[in-house]
Amino acid sequence: MSKKSLYIICLFIIINASFSLQAQKPSIYKVTRMSFNSGIFSEISPVIVKDGIVFCSDRKFSSIKDRTSFDGRRLYNIYIAERKDTSSWSKPEELKSERSTLFNNGPLCVAPDGKTIYFTSEIETGKITKKRSFKNHSGIFTAELSGTNLVSLQPFQYNNQQYNVGQPSVSSDGKYLFFASDMPGGQGGSDLYYCELINGQWSAPVNLGPKINSPGAENFPYMHPSGRLYFSSNRPGGLGNLDVYYSALTFGSWEDPVLMPEPINSASDDFAFIADQNMATGYFSSNRRRSDDIYMFASTIIRKSECDTLVENNYCYELIEENAVKFDTLPFRYEWNFGDGEKGIGPAVEHCYPGPGSYLVQLDVVNLITKEILYNEKSYNLELKAVEQPYISGPDEGTAGQTIKLSADNTNLPGWNIARYYWNFGDETIAIGKEVDKAYINPGTYNVQLIVTSEPEPGGVIRETCVCKNIIVMR
């Protein structure tokens, strides 16, 4: 065999091996294309509402009617698909406005009050828009949702005929409005901005800065209730075209955006990401098939909505000779034998025991007048038990990039035959095992969950319990 052949074989093995390793890494998201997507038309920018999903589509209005702009382009309008059950959706119904027939409507967001809609549409609606040479720009508008109608339309005060403003996202507290704009002074292309609601007025737009905005295009911002800002960008380093990234404001500055993993991102355009409160499910748009479609994702990560906060085992006690402490000066000395080899003096003492166990506390009293020692004047049997819970041993703080060790060794679940220790690190990563290593990429406060599952018990019952603790990761 020639050296060249050997080299090719080795290379093939290495590539194959690395591919196999990659293939073994399970995805933490499962993606499903929504059933209400049309075949060839676009469905984009989903918004979760109480009864279903509101989205934008340039689909045919009906088999007879269609909507296009003056220059023949298909118009996007707003639709709602109501959830019929856990897997099926009603036929989308249009949310109409006075702009529906001639202008684009959407993308949009719903304010925390559930009634106010912020949506994107063209700014100019006059006759001038019919001129072929006229370039209209998009702006943000608000409307009130009345049944399936959008009424009382109002333009956003920072709409400008010179540039585009759109794709609004209002924070869950209603205080911040994020949007995309190609207004001058940005980092290039479309950038993300925010306005703050001060005394009922939106402040002047603020560019989110170079950490978020690249020379490429950033758009489709979505501020998750957790404080994470999801957005799409075509910056280098993604999987191709538009990809979904997220970042968070930590200690006053935005962290480096993190690329969402496959299969949320793909080589196609992936954008307009939204998620529920727990990041367990959500939606995004992608043109990974023929057209822009809405996809649902479900996290395969187990994250408990109810998880007990880790209770630190505390074996520190105050021991008081109750009658003695009532008097300032008594001619007695109180000598405590704590039962663990340690001693203390005084009518009231504090002692921390090394751990759970049975300790016989004995109190000797010395009469300072007679010098008589009353041995074991009183005794107390102190039974100390560790809290029955899974236990997370590990640091409370760390630094970004540093590997920290977490252990479930001190778990105290008497009677449990434990099958699995499952760690959710709070950054959409997991691990399984009694002792695990973790390195956080970004600073922040992460809520780590340790979920312990038992082997099946007689009758097939599997017990499961969860504790959590926060780990602060510094820069």
Partner 1 sequence: MKLNKTIFIIIISALILGTEAFTTLLGQAVPGKDENIPFLVTFGRHGETSWGDDDFYGVFFFSIPKDYTQQFYIRVFDPDTGGENDEIQGEFNTRCLFAVYGGKGVDPDKNEDSKGLLNGLNYKGGNLLASRIFGSEPRYDNKYYTFGPFNPTSGDFSSKWNSFLFKIVCEGISGDDGNLYRYFLSREPENNLPVEGANAFTYEYTFRMWNDFKSVAHIYPYVDTGVIFIRQRNFDWDNDGHILVVSRYKQGIDVPISNEDDWQESRIGIELPEIGSSLDFQFHKKQGDLVKNNNVVVTLESQRGDALPFFSSPIGGVPVYQAKIKVTQVKKPK
Interface residues with partner 1 (CB under 8 A) are 312, 314-324, 327, 329-332, 350, 352, 361, 363, 365, 367, 369-370, 377-380, 382
Minimum distance from residue 317 beta carbon to partner 1 (Å): 5
Strands across the sheet containing 108-110: 108-110, 116-122, 138-146, 149-155
Q: Which is nearer to partner 1, 206 or 373 (CB)?
A: 373
- Compute the least distance from the CB of residue 316 to partner 1, in Å: 5
Q: What angle do CA 122, 128, 131 make, to 5 degrees?
A: 100
Taking the least distance from each CB to partner 1, the nearer of 324 and 431 is 324
Question: CB of 415: closest distance to partner 1 in angstroms?
Answer: 25
User: Given the complex with partner 1, which of 117 and 363 has the nearer CB atom?
Assistant: 363
Question: Min. distance of Cβ 351 from partner 1 in angstroms?
Answer: 9
Complex with partner 1: residue 41 or 315, whichever CB lies closer: 315
Question: Judged by CB, which is closer to partner 1: 199, or 370?
Answer: 370
CA nearest neighbour of 338 among 317, 322, 324, 369:
317
**Cβ of 25: how many Cβ atoms within 10 Å?**
8
Nearer to partner 1, 305 or 323 (CB): 323
Nearer to partner 1, 198 or 316 (CB): 316
Q: Which residue has the tokens 């778990």?
A: 411
Q: How far apart are CA 68 and CA 73, in angstroms?
A: 5
**In this structure, are residues 361 and 338 in contact, taking their beta carbons and an 8 Å threshold?**
yes
Contact at 8 Å (CB) between 384 and 319? no
Q: Smallest gap, in angstroms, from Cβ of residue 458 to partner 1?
A: 36
Q: How far is the CB of 473 from partner 1 (least distance, A)?
A: 21
Q: By C-beta, is 258 or 320 nearer to partner 1? A: 320
How does DSSP assign 326-383, residue by residue?
GSS--SEEEEEE-SSS-EEESSEEEEE-SSSEEEEEEEEEEETTT--EEEEEEEEEEE
Say whether 129 sits in a helix, a strand or coil.
Answer: helix
Q: Which residue has the tokens 């400008």?
A: 160
> DSSP code of 11?
H
Which has the closest alpha carbon to 99: 82, 81, 117? 117
Query: Is residue 107 reached through a cis peptide bond, with omega within 30 degrees of 0 on the bond before it?
Result: yes
Nearest distance from C-beta of residue 348 to partner 1, angstroms: 9
Distance in Å, CB of 310 to partner 1, minimum: 14
Terminal alpha carbon distance of the chain: 53
Residue closer to partner 1, measured from CB, 93 or 372: 372
Closest distance between partner 1 and the C-beta of residue 367, in Å?
A: 7
CA distances to 144, 263, 271, 353 from 230, rounded to whole Å, are 26, 16, 9, 48
In the complex, minimum distance from the CB of residue 307 to partner 1, in angstroms, rounded to a whole number: 23
Which residues 6+ apart lie within 8 Å of 297 measured at CB?
29, 30, 31, 32, 263, 264, 275, 281, 282, 283, 284
Reference 240, options 273, 268, 272, 271; nearest CA is 268
Please identify, using beta-carbon distances, which residue of 169 and 337 lies nearer to partner 1.
337
